[in-house]
Amino acid sequence: MQVVYTPAHLAHDITTETFMGLSIPANEVAERAEKIRDALTADGGFAFVEPTDHGEAPITAVHEPGLVRFLEVAWSEVRRQGIARPFLSADTYPNTAMFEGMSEDAIAALVREPVHAGGRAGFWGLDSAAPLVAGTYLAARGAVDVALTAADLVVAGAPAAYGLCRPPGHHAARSMYGGYCFFNNAAIAAEAIVRSTHEHVAILDVDYHHGNGSQQIFWRRGDVRYVSIHADPDSDYPYFLGRADETGEGDGAGENLNIPLSAGTTDEEYLGAVDQALDAIAETSGSVIVVSLGFDTYGLDPIGTFALTTGVYHEIGRRTAALGRRLVILQEGGYHRPSLGENARAWLRGAEGRSFEPRPAGGFGESGAVAG
Ligand SMILES: [Zn+2]
């Protein structure tokens, strides 16, 4: 399988994040992608390719141009405005109640994108979990090119390709970044595939979290089915979306399937949800699935509560490929760094129909995944 990777992600060099007001060591760090790259390199069965520059048009096919402009200039604005912070995070988010009583016309006429960089971050951002630094925009653009290059390989006939995207993307909505995500790599890839093939496309999101951004972008679309297995929003981010009764509207009615699961979900329970998700995808026409692949479902993940093991990722990859469609597999979350490489290797080898062959503990890097 070809793996699309670029070192551009290293520029999004994050060390701390904010969780419920507390500054904590960042989870979404550069080491994540490097761990996966190391493991796939050591495997020997993967061919690395560099992404090609796809320009801005595929991004604005999915995202509001104003969001792209903000992300492009945000850090230079932080500096120009003399804001002495190691990263940009919003100070204020526009709770809709701030404008209660104002007509939609009045809001459109009077409420503007703020000038202050912290205010702008609140205007475009969902939360304080996506700190923005000097290299964020270039890294996010690189992740989009990784996704689009993987999509190109599959549209050209490859049975599968893996895009080692970082930063991840599935929380980014049309006009919003957040949740470690800036551009929605999977949505941009899905849209590009729809436009080039004129086929229906399915997104299978197996990150621990609900991909609220992907759901929002395709909510009214009849040509993209979004199917997500994730932690119940009653207990986990993104809290406001991800419930089973969110099924799409208009042309998209019935095209959105959410499968929320409880804390402690086991391999067997998760595989049952995978079968349900794949059945929903099998109902659709089209020959390509975009997979939003997260490993924060792993038992040792620091922010997840599921109990999945490395071996089950091999089986999920195998079952997904057994549907007989071509796969654009894009990296989303996964924060237990010692296991990321083995978990990715297991999933991708499963998707290729290769046996897993776990590495002995300590076989490379600091992989403790086999024992864990
Ligand atoms: Zn996640």
The catalytically annotated residue of 9, 54, 63, 171 is 171
Specify whether 171 is catalytic: yes
Distance 108 CA to ligand 1 centre (A): 33
Ligand 1 center–CA 156 separation, angstroms: 29
- Chain-centroid distance, C-alpha 36: 15
| pLDDT, mean of each 10-residue run, the chain (372 residues) | 98 93 94 98 98 98 98 98 94 92 96 95 95 97 99 98 98 98 99 98 98 98 98 98 98 98 98 98 98 98 98 98 98 98 98 90 46 34
Distance from chain centroid for Cα 181: 7
Q: Which two tokens stand for residue 156?
A: 């050209």
> Tokens 């969780």, residue?
19
Q: What is the CA(104)–ligand 1 centre distance, in A?
A: 34
What pLDDT digit, counting tens, does each position of 185-234 carry? Answer: 999 999 999 999 999 999 999 999 999 999 999 999 999 999 999 999 99
What is the distance in A from the centroid of ligand 1 to the CA of 332?
7
Q: How far is the CA of 279 from the centre of ligand 1 (A)?
A: 23
Determine if the pTM surpasses 0.85. Answer: yes
Beta strand ranges found along the chain (DSSP E): 2-4, 16-19, 22-25, 47-49, 160-163, 201-205, 224-231, 256-261, 288-293, 326-331
Compute the 3-state secondary structure of the chain and give helix, strand, coil in percent, each to the nearest 5. Answer: 40, 15, 45
